[in-house]
Amino acid sequence: MGKKQNKKDQITELVILLTILIISFFLWDTYFIYPIKLFVVLLHEISHAIATILSGGKIIEMNIGFDLGGKCETEGGNTIFIASAGYLGSLLWGLLFFLSPNNKKTGLWIIISISALILITTISVSANSTFVILALILSSLLVTSAFFLRIPIITIIVRAFGLISCIYVLFDIKDDLLSRATVLSDASILSSLTNIPVTLIGLSWAFVSIIGIYIAVRFSYKN
């Protein structure tokens, strides 16, 4: 790791992050959180696309709507891997963003690499101009922030983005299991492929998400 924070700075940063999370919770359905939700949906669909390509499939269509609905229609590839990649991929991106300030030099390259992967994947597989523009905006913001990770406020913003992204995964899992039970979801697709109850799949993903968030926070503030 890079230069470690002293205990006082760590506590201050944690308090600020906790405050941001509490405010975000109360403003969850407002335009304040909407851009982050939109970007997490974008990361969700890109995760499906990457899993498809890695498992030998191809993308038929990748789309995103301003109603926070996403679509990644695929052909071939490992369907179980592809279906699992949405939530777990979004969680992984969020955790990487949260952890990136732990080492400023490594964090710089992590964020730049993720940004390049987002942009290259989107341009390569999506013909939807909205998707491409959103990917370009997200990549630009991430790359810009990466060069200023040494500034405490930028570190907090990057960590908050990563943490809220992870939390959104939990909310999205909950919505798919409860609020949108009749709508085809990643969990229901995986359930039909494995005969595992959709609720168990959703709870398993939620458990992995919570453990991942706990480990990331514990690792970042272990002093």
Is residue 116 within 8 A of residue 139, CB to CB? The reply is: yes
162-184 average pLDDT score: 75
The residues, any chain, with a CB within 8 Å of residue 124's CB and separated by 6 or more, are none
**d(C-alpha 118, C-alpha 130), whole Å:** 14
pLDDT tens per residue across span 41-79: 888 888 999 999 999 998 888 888 778 778 888 888 899
CA distance 73 to 89: 17
Indicate if the pLDDT at residue 119 is higher than 80: yes
* Global confidence as pTM: 0.84
pLDDT band, very low/low/confident/very high, at 1 (cuts 50, 70, 90): very low
CB-based contacts of 70: which residues, under 8 Å, 6+ apart?
41, 42, 44, 45, 63, 64
Nearest to 166 by CA among 111, 220, 209, 135: 209
pLDDT confidence bin for 36, thresholds 50/70/90: confident
Encode pLDDT of 175-189 as tens digits.
Answer: 777 655 556 778 888
